[in-house]
Amino acid sequence: MHNSYNKLISAIKSKKSMLCVGLDSDISKIPAESFSKNINGLFEFNKTIIAQTADICAAYKINFAFYEQYGSDGVDLLKQTLQIIPQDIFTIADAKRGDIGNTSTAYSKSVFQYFMADSITVNPYMGIDSIVPFLEDTDKFIFLLALTSNKGSYDFQRLECDGKPLYLHIIEKSAKEFEVENLGFVIGATHPTELGDIRKLIPNNAVLIPGVGAQGGDVSAVMAANGGGPALINVSRAVIYPDIIDNDFGASVRRAALKYNRLINLTTSTFLKEWG
C-alpha cells in the first residue's frame, strides 16, 4: 500500500475509530474563560483538543482558511498545530485547492513538503490535469470534492449531464484515472441515500464525510449507507466548541469526541472485519 493510504487504514484500525476531528479554530469562538483571545490562545486551544482526543480519533482535518485569515501568524500556527499531532494520526489539509498544472504543483509543494500533511482536499472543477500534480508523489493522498454537505451542493453538483449528475461524472472519471491508494472523495453526511449509491461505484475508495453534528448529518444513516468501505466521519464544531460542563473545556471536548466515536462505532465492525 502507498504510505499515506497505509497510514489512513492503520489509524482507523489501531484506534478502532473513523472519527475525524476538524480543527476549524477561530479566535472569536474559543472560550475566553480558558484561553486568551489571540494567536497564543488559539494554539493552546488546539493543543488541548489534540491532547484530549488523540487516543480517540483516526484523523484531524485542518481547515486552512481558519488560519490564513490571521496572516503570517496564522500560517505559523497552522504549521505548529500539524507538528504537534501524533505521527500515527492521519492529517488532512482541508485547503480545497485546484488550478492549472503549475499552480497545482505549487499548492502541492506547500501542503506536502512545507506543512507535511498526509492528504489534501482538492477541487476537481478544472479537470484531471489540475489534479495530477497533487499526486506526483505517489505516496500522497487526495480527497476530491464530489457531493458536499452544504445546501449549495444542489446548485451545480447535481446538474444532469449526459443522463447523470455532475458529481457522478467526477467520481467515475477520476476513479478510472487514479489508484484507490491515492484517491478519496468528499461526500456530505447530509446525502446518505446518494452515499449508498456512490459506494456501489467505489466500494474501496476512502471517503471523507463532513456534515455530522452542527450541519445535521445523521451518523447511523451515514454509516449504514457507507457499508464496509474505509471512511472518516468529520465532526468539527460539535467537538471543538462543546457545551462546557463544570468549567472544564478539555473534559467537555473529550466527552463530545467519545460520544461521536461511540455513535460511529456502532456500525464500524464490517469495515474492521474486512480490512483488519
Catalytic residues: 96
The DSSP symbol for 27 reads T
Burial level of 215, CB count in 10 A (0-12/13-18/19+)?
Answer: middle
CB neighbours of residue 191 within 10 Å: 25
SS3 163: coil
141: closest CA among 65, 203, 191, 208? Answer: 208
Strands (E), the chain: 19-22, 59-63, 90-97, 119-122, 141-147, 160-161, 164-165, 183-187, 206-209, 231-235
Question: 457522478: which residue's cell?
Answer: 168
- Residues forming beta bridges with residue 61, ordered by sequence position: 22, 92
**Contact 91/232 with Cβ under 8 angstroms?**
no
Nearest to 13 by CA among 79, 90, 82, 69: 90
